[in-house]
Structure 1
Amino acid sequence: MYEVRSLRTDAEREEAAALVQDRQRWLTMRGLPVPARADIPALFRDPQTRPAGLFEDGKLLACMIPDRDPVLGWGKGPCLVLGCVHTLPEQSDDITRLITLWASDFAARQGLPVVRAEALARHALDAEPVAALLRRLTDMGWEVRGSGPGREGDRVTRLELTAEHRSGLSALIGCHVHEPHAASDDRGIA
């Protein structure tokens, strides 16, 4: 069974920071973009960021920082923002699909109409490798809302997902995530 839960201990946060470092190393070795300005691993070590992780039988598969109504500079109205989403290197799109399903349901349960995220996009949106990523994400239900500067100044693709109650999802993905707080800080999304 999968579970999305808040990272509560120093050891869990350190494991998430290591996952982020592994993912960034993997991306760099393939010539893919990583955030230029933010120390993302440090964000996961900081308990104030209230990070969460996707686990399968106790193994951390992905980590993220869910925020409610942060200042993005784009999109209008209340939302859940998935910041700093990182998956283990060499993972299938199934992990991203699980995060998508969970985020849509979690936002709906929080009374939020949409989920927003940003993905690094140093190239035009129709150029590879960005285009391939966006095709996979739109197949999962995400909508591209253009591109521009992200919260950390990197060029990003802006993504939005409609919140939707998904009855029965709890049989596949358990949820033990803190209620996201309204954030006004300037964390980026990888």
Structure 2
Amino acid sequence: MRTFRTDAERDEAAALVQDRQHWLTLHGLPVPARADVPAQFREAQTLSAGLFEDGRLLACLIPEHDPDLGWGQGPCLFLRSVHTLPGQTDDITRLITLWASDFADRLGLPVVRAETLARHTLEAEPLAVLLRRLTDTGWDVHGSGPGRDGDRIARLELLDEPRPGLSALINCQVHTPRQTPGDQSNA
């Protein structure tokens, strides 16, 4: 897992997001209505990161330190716009989960938060299947509501956890996320 360093890597991430959104649309699943997500990954100042295996990009996300989500209490590592390569196994989600809980611990943040689109109730398929897979890997669902971009989302939390042997599986070269302006939790 590492921060994107080049325009080519950022373009590859944007293409992965477009592929994932196309896959979601083909399967009748929601995509963000108001945000140009691929464009976010092309911007160098966004400081996005990716999970690579043998030089192949398997997932991308934008790690943030304690943004104002409008939900959740206390400081957190927020994983914005998590996208995986279509057609991959759940192993990628498990690796991201392991990495995120360890990375939050190394940053001194007690929890990881993320959001996933939830246009219907949390019990409705296919969202319920996704949420079951996430809870099986350690995530907790904390209800639903409006997200940062105005879409209805499911709120997810994962406790930090030191994983000393993880570096043998996942090399972490992710930047330390910038703290959101106005946050005084670590001041």
| TM-score normalised according to structure 1 size | 0.94
The letter of the residue matching 1:75 is G
Larger relative contact order (Cα-Cα within 8 Å, sequence gap ≥ 6): 1
Task: Give 1:87's match in structure 2, choosing from 68, 84, 87.
Answer: 84
Q: Write the mapping of 1:1-190 to structure 2, written as runs, cut at 5 A.
A: 4-183=1-180
Aligned-pair CA distance for 1:8 = 1.1
> What is the aligned length?
181
The letter of the residue matching 2:133 is R
Structure 1: which 5+ runs fail to align?
Answer: 185-190
Aligned-pair CA distance for 1:182 = 1.6
Distance 1:165 1:64 in 2: 21
Aligned-pair CA distance for 1:142 = 0.2
What's the secondary structure of 2:59's corresponding residue?
A: strand
Aligned-pair CA distance for 1:10 = 0.3
RMSD of aligned alpha carbons? 0.6
| TM-score normalised according to structure 2 size | 0.96
The letter of the residue matching 1:31 is G
Distance 2:25 2:179 in 1: 32
CA deviations on 1:65-123 (whole Å, 9 max, x unpaired) are: 00000010000110000000000001111000000000000000000000000000001
Distance 2:180 2:18 in 1: 24
What's the secondary structure of 1:174's corresponding residue?
A: coil
Distance 1:19 1:143 in 2: 26
Distance 1:182 1:129 in 2: 34
Structure 2: which 5+ runs fail to align?
Answer: 182-187
Distance 1:167 1:106 in 2: 11
Deviating above 2 A after TM superposition, structure 1's stretches of 4 or more consecutive aligned residues are: none
